[in-house]
Amino acid sequence: MLMFVYTSGGVFLVDVFTRKKGFLSQKEVLTKALKTKGVKLATPLLACRFYHSEPIFSIEFNEATIAILRQNGFQVDLHVDKENVTRVSYWSNNKSFYYWNFWPGEKIELILITDKHADYSKGIPFLPTLDGALNPDNCIQPGTLAFCTAFANFKDAPPLIEEIALTQKGKILVEWSEMSLGGTKSLRDLWEKVSAGYPSRECLPMTFQIEPNPHLPILDDFNAMRFVKKAYQSEIVSGWEKQIAEFAEGLVKRSVK
């Protein structure tokens, strides 16, 4: 069901997410995906437009850590300002420059993040990044991969860091079959496949009217997506096709008048 919601930030049209059989929330899917890697989902910050894992590796920022970083191509500049911030920087082969700021006694944490604009057709893609660089558009960094390489053989490093270091892909893909959810699709991808078979004149006006709606935010989570198990996709597609047909019929009737 679609409805208008009044907030301090304005008026928004949202899709009231009714729990139906066959639907999975983004939080449920990400929790299952991370579990296959032995990692838990963290509580997302309200300002974030993406979910992230709890730290998969944490190490105190001290002299021993600095020595390992320097041995692996990182530049470490101590006390770069009045707050004694230490800047860790890395130059990639293509001359791109990345850096992180750390305060004395702070821990360096490696986490996995995801973004609602990612491609979910094959599964759930996670991007490794150092906490403090929480930006999905800038987290596939040579610096993050170099960090994983530097600490892959560290005594407390989990196998996941070695996996990232060995593949050097900057992305961890958990396939749907690994979660026993083979054939699952996001509601957005399912709609795009359906709408591609119709003239834009019929489908485009339906973008904010179709139910369930794949584009509008959900009432209880403005940043979340919905996923549909394979067994229930045909029912949703049939419902959409019926709505499109009824809308197209209405256009014809109006044009005749």
Q: Give percent of the chain with pLDDT exceeding 70.
A: 70
Residues in a beta bridge with 99: 89
The answer to whether residue 18 sits within a structural domain is yes
Residues 210 and 105 in one domain: no
**How far does Cα 103 stand from its chain's mean position?**
28
The 10s digit of each residue's pLDDT in 137-154 is 555 577 888 888 899 888
Residues 133 and 241 in one domain: no
The answer to whether residue 53 sits within a structural domain is yes
- Residue that is last in its domain, among 118, 145, 179: 179
The answer to whether residue 27 sits within a structural domain is no
The 10s digit of each residue's pLDDT in 168-196 is 667 888 999 999 999 999 888 888 888 77
Residues 51 and 173 in one domain: yes
Predicted pLDDT at 7: 44
The β-bridge relationship of strands 185-186 and 2-7 is unpaired
What average pLDDT score do residues 67-74 get?
89
User: Which residues span the domain enclosing 211?
Assistant: 2-22+183-256
Residues 233 and 139 in one domain: no
Predicted pLDDT at 220: 47
The answer to whether residue 101 sits within a structural domain is yes
Pairwise CA distance, residues 90 & 81, whole Å: 19
Residue 168 and residue 213 in contact, taking contact as beta carbons nearer than 8 Å: no
The β-bridge relationship of strands 107-113 and 57-60 is antiparallel
The DSSP 8-state label assigned to residue 94 in this structure reads: T
Residues in a beta bridge with 76: 88
Residues in a beta bridge with 11: 6
Residues in a beta bridge with 89: 75, 99
Residues 48 and 150 in one domain: yes
The 10s digit of each residue's pLDDT in 17-58 is 444 678 888 888 999 999 999 999 987 654 455 688 999 998
- Residue that is last in its domain, among 179, 214, 240: 179
The total domain count for the chain is 2
CB count in 10 Å sphere of residue 141: 21
Residues 154 and 230 in one domain: no
Residues 162 and 247 in one domain: no
**How far does Cα 49 stand from its chain's mean position?**
8
- Residue that is last in its domain, among 128, 149, 179: 179
Please write down the HEC assignment for all residues of 35-84.
HCCCCCECCCCCCCCCCEECCCEEEECCHHHHHHHHHCCCEEECCCCCCC
Residues 188 and 114 in one domain: no
Q: Is the pLDDT of residue 233 over 80?
A: yes
The answer to whether residue 170 sits within a structural domain is yes
Residues 165 and 50 in one domain: yes
The answer to whether residue 174 sits within a structural domain is yes
Predicted pLDDT at 5: 42
SS3 state at 226: strand
Residues 250 and 192 in one domain: yes
Lowest-confidence segment of 40-49, 88-97, 178-187, 217-226 by average pLDDT? 217-226
Tell me the two tokens of residue 143: 């610096």
The answer to whether residue 238 sits within a structural domain is yes
Residues 167 and 133 in one domain: yes
Residues 225 and 123 in one domain: no
Predicted pLDDT at 12: 40
Tell me the two tokens of residue 127: 């991007």
Predicted pLDDT at 31: 93
